[in-house]
Amino acid sequence: MSPEQFSSSVLDWFDRHGRHNLPWQQGITPYRVWVSEIMLQQTQVSTVLNYFDRFMAALPDVQALAEAAEDEVLHLWTGLGYYTRARNLQKTAKIIMAQYAGEFPHDVEKLVELPGIGLSTAGAIASISMGLRAPILDGNVKRVLARFTAQEGYPGEPKVAKALWATAERFTPHARVNDYTQAMMDLGATLCTRSKPSCLLCPLERGCEAHLLGLETRYPIPKPRKAVPQRRTLMPMLANRDGAILLYRRPSSGLWGGLWSLPELDDLDDLEHLAAQHALGLGTPQALPALVHTFSHFQLAIEPWLVQVEESALHVAEADWLWYNLATPPRLGLAAPVKTLLKRAADVLNAGEPS
């Protein structure tokens, strides 16, 4: 199948069966495309829909994002995970305001220089919102092309990635590149799916080498598996008389960077040191159901303990600590498991039993 036949088949299918009503396809701007592409990294469309609308309502343009409080940005991102994406969004917004007068550069190389924008995301912004010819290679497109060419090797390897980028470049048309980019993402998301591809409905069926071999699900070649490391932490939820829980802001770099979280201890015996640090009198710790949170590179087993505490009238709160009011919670960025644990704490404090 020639590149012209490839793109023509994909576009014909898109016109009849593609998705045309996604929120970021309406009122297309570089800003809306950019935010949607960053949200869609490692995240399903169904999950992103509500987050995107809420984010746009609060921060409708690049200036609003650049000027927003970091806590507001992280609050709007809470639950989407991979929080570096949110921090990079705001970094990029500030650069665009300061260096590009609020306008996204119409140049893939300049887009890639911005925090959090890789080559595929830059290609999507340039092609969908600017009409520039720029190939993309997100997870969905990578799967389509790896199957179409029966590409051997794990795509994370530089040699294999280079081959797939060359394929993406070869098949990207010069006309209707905005529709083609969206079409390729749709094709991977709706037909050329990871486990049960709908080959009989695919416009590329006749030329797909993986399909001709009957080996569709063999491609892309998966990453060699390694055992997922396990970690454990104890998270005390110190509740004062008002039912507020003590939280602290994590360092800006590293795991859950910049988010508000519960203290972490190695052992329950460390609780007295934490209480002394904040001049708190400790009640009897109450164990709540454990929670396992899976990251991309390890699993974290969280042991939560609810502890009623008495505050000292003389103690002055430290800058990176606050009492989180469960009844009227402030708009803060919270790690997803912490948000879950705070809800459990609220249920216990309100009803006297775990949820």
Q: Which amino acids are annotated catalytic?
A: 37
Q: Measured in Å, how far apart are the chain's first and last C-alpha atoms? A: 58
Contact between 23 and 53 under an 8 Å Cβ cutoff? The reply is: yes
CA 239, distance to chain mean position in Å, is 31
3-state secondary structure of 164: helix
Contact between 167 and 160 under an 8 Å Cβ cutoff? The reply is: no
Q: DSSP letter for 43, please.
A: S
Residue 109 corresponds to which tokens in the numbers above?
């190389």
Residue 342 corresponds to which tokens in the numbers above?
């705070």
The upper half-sphere exposure of residue 313, i.e. CA atoms within 13 Å in the direction of its Cβ, equals 0
Contact between 234 and 264 under an 8 Å Cβ cutoff? The reply is: yes
Of 195, 174, 192, which is closest to residue 184 (Cα–Cα)?
Answer: 192
Rounded (10°) angle between helices 158-171 and 3-17: 80
* Phi-psi category of residue 256: left, alpha or beta, with phi > 0 → left and psi -120 to 50 → alpha: left
3-state secondary structure of 127: helix
Contact between 302 and 290 under an 8 Å Cβ cutoff? The reply is: yes
| Upstream peptide bond of 337 is cis (omega within 30 degrees of 0) | no
Q: Where are the beta strands (DSSP E) in the chain?
A: 230-239, 244-249, 260-261, 280-282, 286-287, 291-294, 299-311, 321-325
Radius of gyration of the chain (CA): 24
